[in-house]
Amino acid sequence: MSSTGRGRGYTGRHNLQQREPRPGVVDLDEKTTPRTLTELTSRITESSKVEPVKPEMEEPVKDDKPVKEMVDTRCDDDSLVELLYVDEQFAPLLVLLEQFSPGEDGIQFNRKLRHFETTVTNICPDEPRLHQAFATFRAAALQSSVTSRKLAAVGASFTRQQRQQLLRATLLNVVMQGTFTKLDILERSNPIYLINATNLMGDYFAEARLCNGNKVHILASPLVQYMRALLASDDLRAHRSLATQ
């Protein structure tokens, strides 16, 4: 007699065949569990990788020492070029200046002086042109020791003449003061310029007299500074010039 509820031919064993996986479906165990030791090792290695810590960039150490100031040589060059610039339009006045001879006869000197003053007045009718002319005298005097002594002699005669107050003031402002304000530049340039500038002021100070007969005492202090600059120079010619002051 057969058992109720069981199909015909049932043997009593659960001999069910395992179904094949559907295409595209991955078994969970197969997905999560590595099949080989090599795969396991590679997974452990990947999971144990740690990103290297990038070292912090050290900020450069700032030097707190003050930066040493450097002399602007370009500025010196420009100022020196201005000091030595000879304007060709005043060349006729330079020719007349070169005709003077220090120590020559007084009558001849005064005749040349009157001609020189008249020519300067005609060529320089206004004060700006007069300043330009005396700047040219200064440039020529700095480049020539002979011209510097002649300019000092002519300039001293301006001081004696009360009627030539404009020429005297221009000489003091443009030539004497204008050169002295550039003393630091002269010290760093060719020693000849410093020597001629010192001789120009020294000769003028020795010969010039005011209307009351007194020396131009305001030039005493600048002249001493010129002499100190000569003493500090390394050039032998500067030391020899100092001995003649």
pLDDT of residue 205: 94
Which parts of the chain register pLDDT below 50? 1-3, 5-10, 12, 14, 16, 24-50, 53, 55, 57, 60-71
pLDDT of residue 70: 45
pLDDT of residue 162: 62
Residue 9: which residues within 8 A CB-CB, separation 6 or more? none
Q: Which two tokens stand for residue 59?
A: 């900020």
Residue 174: which residues within 8 A CB-CB, separation 6 or more? 131, 134, 135, 138
Distances (CA, A) of 47 to 29, 31, 50, 52, 53: 19, 17, 8, 14, 17
pLDDT of residue 65: 41
pTM higher than the cut 0.75: no
Q: Give dist(CA 193, CA 69) in Å, integer.
A: 25
Q: Give dist(CA 115, CA 141) in Å, integer.
A: 20
Domain 76-243 has CATH 1.25.40: yes
Numbers of helices and strands, H then E, in the chain: 13, 0
Give the 3-state secondary structure of residue 208: coil
Phi and psi of 63, rounded to 5°? Answer: -85, 115
Q: What is the DSSP letter of 67?
A: P
Q: What is the DSSP letter of 102?
A: T
pLDDT of residue 104: 84
Where do the domains of the chain lie?
A: 76-243
